[in-house]
Amino acid sequence: MCAWAPDLDLFLNHGDFHNIAFMIIFGVFLAFILTSFGIIFVDAFFFSVVGFGAHLLEDAMVYDIAYPFLWSFLTNSHGLDLFPDVISTRGYYIASFFRIANTEILIIGLLFLVLAIIIRTYFVGMTWIRWYMTENFYLKISGIFGLEDTKRIEY
């Protein structure tokens, strides 16, 4: 959901929210909201900024001159233009995967997701996954993968 946040500016001047200054403001705002639901401030801030930043990175990868991503440090619009074939001759993004995303860019995003899961599992261990699953599903999965912590989860 955080990856869609830069496009909230569709109702204003599109591109105004595509910068690191708004990313930090959004991360702090969302972290304050999520702490009322029991989520640690630093975790909420970090993951909201990662989601927001993923959107900025993917826009930079496909556009030659995209948005002023580094505003308020630099006002120039920059882009990496690593995937020029995902932009039509009219300058529109070609969403080839069910008209939601471009398949090439989606695959790269999924690879980054898998990399993030591997890194988190390496540093925290497999038990971090249980907080994102129901108790019964986690107990079934933990038996399959041989996780040590297979006791009932107390809420």
Q: Tokens 């580094």 correspond to what residue?
A: 70
149 and 97 in a common domain? no
Q: Cα 53–48–140 angle (5° rounding)?
A: 115
Sign of dihedral through CA atoms 17, 19, 24, 30? positive
Domain containing residue 131:
127-155
150 and 79 in a common domain? no
83 and 62 in a common domain? yes
150 and 98 in a common domain? no
For the entire predicted model, the pTM comes to: 0.61
**Measured distance between the N- and C-terminal CA atoms of the chain, rounded to whole angstroms:** 26
| Residues 145, 135: Cα–Cα separation, whole Å | 15
| Residues 2, 121: Cα–Cα separation, whole Å | 22
User: What's the structural domain count of the chain?
Assistant: 2
- 67's CB contacts (< 8 A; 6+ apart) are 15, 18, 19, 56, 59, 77, 79
CB atoms within 10 A of CB 55: 19
Segment 52-103, tens digit of pLDDT: 888 888 777 776 666 665 555 556 666 666 777 777 677 677 778 777 777 8
Whether pLDDT at 14 is above 50: yes
62 and 31 in a common domain? yes
Q: Tokens 């990313």 correspond to what residue?
A: 23
Average pLDDT over residues 2-20: 75
- 66's CB contacts (< 8 A; 6+ apart) are 15, 18, 59, 60, 77, 78, 79
136 and 105 in a common domain? no
How would residue 32 be classed by pLDDT, with cut points 50, 70 and 90?
A: very high
110 and 148 in a common domain? no
114 and 141 in a common domain? no
